[in-house]
Structure formats: C-alpha cells, structure tokens
Amino acid sequence: MASPAKLPLWRSVGEAYALWGRNFAEILRLSWPWMAVIALPLAIIVWLQGSTVTGAMEAARAGRPVLEEHPLADMILQLVGQLIALPALASVAVAWHRLVLRGEHAGPELYLRRDGVVIGYAILLFWIGLITRAPNSAGRLLQAVTGPVRALQTLTGLVALIALFIVARLSLALPALAVGRAEISFGAAWAATKGNSWRLFWGYLFCILPWVVVVVAVEFLFLTGDRVLATLVLLAIGLVWIPVGMISVGFLSLAYRHFFEARA
C-alpha cells in the first residue's frame, strides 16, 4: 500500500471555513430544530451545574486552586448533558458531511433526521468522545482524593494531549459512516492517516480555536455568582456549539476526501 499523501493543512482549514461561511444559512436551518428540542433538558442540566461552574470561575479569577466538592456527581451531570446534545450533533453532522462530500441538501421540511445512520454516527461519536474525556475524568477523581497535585495535573494534561492526537486520526471514520462507507473502520482510518497526526491535530484545533477563545472570554466576563445568568450563558454556549462545530466537521469531511476518495 502506498504511503499516505500529506494532508494540505492550511488549504483544508481555509476551505472548511469557506464552506461553512457560504452555507451558513443552510447550517442554521439544519441546527435550529434540534436546538429547540434539546434546549429545555439541557437547561436543567446546566442549572444543576451552575454553582460548580461559577465557583470554579471565581477560584480561577482569584488565582486559587479549583477544587470540586462533588467531582463524581459533576462528571455524571456533564456526561448526561453531552448525551442530550449527542443526537443533535450527530444528525446535523451527517447532513453537513453529505453536503460537503456529495452535494446533498436536506429537504425543505423541518430537519430532525434520526435514522440508522444518525444513530450509528452518534454511537461512534460517543466512543471517540470517551477517549478524549477519560484522562480528564480520571485526573479529576484522583485530585478529589489527593488534592491539587502539580505532577498529577501535568500527567493528566499529557495523556489528554496524546488522546487528542489519537482521536484526530480515528475521527475520519465519522464522515465515512455518514456517506455510507461503514467498512472504513477505526483501523482503516488509522492506517490511512499515517504520518499526518500533527496535520490533523492542528487542523481540528484551528477549526475550533476562535470559538474556544470566545467561550473563555464570555465565561470570564459573565460567570459570576448569579446562577440564572450563568445558566443562560452556559446554555447559549452549548446550543451554539452545534452550528459552530460544523467548521471542524467540514474539516473532517475534507480530510476524509483527501485520504479515501481523492486517490481513488
């Protein structure tokens, strides 16, 4: 098998943003019905997390270590919130993959696709997300027992970084599944992207970095002791992530096309 061609990083990132911008109205049309469906249950989860998040932000502002009183309960709430958002993300992502790769537009009706492809995509996305969450979750539980230990925090960060490199390559199985190529497994994605870990990692990072900066700034400015305001801010961030996240989904589509379709 020939060595995988290098992914054109900057061209792919630029095209991901360009496609997102040109089709922004379409992405909003795909996203808003799901945003409306998950808004209430997500608001409940965010409300329950409110005091923890505001407490962590106040500690960070004061330069104090962030200590969670109930780390296990907080992680369960976080997981439930992610599970609530998962069908929405999967459904919109499948439509966006198919538009980018096949030029296929969803019909004019209200978009709430939830067929076998979306379910399979959501399951795959959950396992990929589990890889990225595991180091941080383990670190939080250990620090609840030991306290904020610098060496443990460094180790957790290093393992989380390695997990991101792994996920950046495995994630190419997602657009493959969205366009009906379920035979492209994690193993096939890993083999096809050999020598491209850095390019895929940086590509994904540059596709989410502007939103991460906005989120950090908004949380720093508005997450105070007011639980109602904190709930509204966190809910808005969670919902808006659906259309904004399609930038990185578009990058995945372009990377998939480069490694699996361009040479074919």
| Mean per-residue pLDDT pooled into runs of 10, the chain (264 residues) | 76 97 96 97 88 65 61 83 95 97 92 95 94 80 66 78 92 96 93 94 95 88 78 91 96 96 68
3-state secondary structure of 52: helix
Q: Are 82 and 54 in contact (CB under 8 A)?
A: no
Token readout for 43 is 């608001």
Query: Which residues in 141-155 are b (16+ Cβ under 10 Å) and which e?
Result: ebbeeeeeeeeeeee
**Global confidence as pTM:** 0.89
Q: Are 189 and 172 in contact (CB under 8 A)?
A: yes
pLDDT for the residue numbered 158: 87
pLDDT for the residue numbered 86: 96
pLDDT for the residue numbered 194: 92
pLDDT for the residue numbered 1: 46
- Please choose, from the candidates 82, 90, 76, 77, the residue with its C-alpha nearest in 3D space to the C-alpha of residue 123: 90
**CA distances for 131 relative to 127, 159, 163, 229, angstroms:** 7, 10, 6, 32
- 77's enclosing H/E stretch is helix 71-102
CA distance 46 to 51: 10
Interhelix angle for 197-222 vs 9-22, to 10°?
50
pLDDT for the residue numbered 253: 97
CA distance 52 to 78: 11
